[in-house]
Structure 1
Amino acid sequence: MTDEPQGARDQGPDHHAIHRRGLMLVLSSPSGAGKSTVTRALLAGDDALSLSVSVTTRPPRPGEVDGRDYRFIDEHQYRALVASDGLLEHARVFDNYYGTPRGPVEAELAAGRDVLFDIDWQGTQQLAETAGSDLVRVFILPPSMAELERRLHTRAQDSDEVVRHRMARAADEMSHWPEYDYIVVNRVVNQAIADVRAILTAERLRRQRQLGLAGFVNAMRGAP
């Protein structure tokens, strides 16, 4: 034991600071499984996490704000972004186009901040081709198809026809669960939020993500 203050002991290896490149946290799910609710909760309690704001050609839904929920663009603008390699991923979903702008994401990762993606399995597959170890994939499942349909009707954002369309696609979307690193079944939303937070915490602490760790430890050990 020693009477040396904790702060003094911590100052030794400061010139070998640990820093971290940010990670990409992807959340995917069938529409209505709770992905957006989990996303909002994660962002509200974590200053080191930002949302990747996708572009889309679909019209805004009630309450959505341009630049916050999506960047709403027309098809001509979308095609120009694709042609200039300005999107990390892009896909057609329900007769509309979506994509992730490259520049803002790469700037956040380089600054050591994490970026949250609310995208589908198609976009996740595209990210996986280039993101490498930066990518952490989480798929959120509903507890049952009946509960999924109930949630779609309860949120009252879509017509009965759109709900039927979303339910028809849900089985195909859920078939892609093996492509993800983690699976969370959203039975109780607060528990699902806690589960995803635990995943994010663990991924931030991965040895491979903590750059400069070898120098930090060697300095404490007095090693060259």
Structure 2
Amino acid sequence: MNRENRKDVVDGVAQLQLPKSNEQGFVLVAGLVFVAILTILGTTAYMTTTGDLQVSYNYRKSREAFYGAEAGTQEALYRLRPAAGAASISDTASPQNPNWCVYIVASSLGGTAWNPATGDPEYNASFTNTKVVSLQTTIPCWVKVRHKREYDAVQAGHTTSAPHYTDADGTPSIAGITSGSRGNIIYYGFRGTSTAHPYTKSGASNDPPVEIITSRFVE
């Protein structure tokens, strides 16, 4: 930095004058940089806090949905027991109806009556779709209970070389099993063996059908 000193004499007193320098400009720039750093730190802290709050909120809502759906599943399991008495649900037809389906629904979900046809993304109009009122009136969830059929097993990976059940209904081929032709009910019991296992048969069965329970929490 170039500097030039000037020395003047006023009334016999020597005065030293220094030229103006760039120090004032440097201080201004340093101040602006400091403010920018504080702004960045503040923005980062805000974004971090906001992100943490969102994560905490999402976690709380996911746990709420999980336990709400689990409560619905437990009610369905209870109702499937004969000991549930008047609250029990079951397919009383003989032979049992492959399209049997029951919805367990809170008296109101979101303040309005819940309609399976619009509320269940997997609704099937060919099922019986009976509705019963849930015993848990304060938990906003709905539960669907239906028989497991050969189509469900095929969707889960069942093949003749890697079977999920014993196909004893006289039609062992799975080629014709589709979403429109779901095959027979899969039962669970002692079909021809000393060990309980899933199987199909033609006609009525004394063993209980395997049931599929779907439980959904409604916010």
Structure number with greater Rg is 2
The verdict on a shared fold, with TM-score over 0.5 as the criterion, is: no
Query: Normalising to structure 2: TM-score of the pair?
Result: 0.24
Query: Normalising to structure 1: TM-score of the pair?
Result: 0.24
Question: 1 or 2 for the larger relative contact order (CA 8 Å, sep ≥6)?
Answer: 1
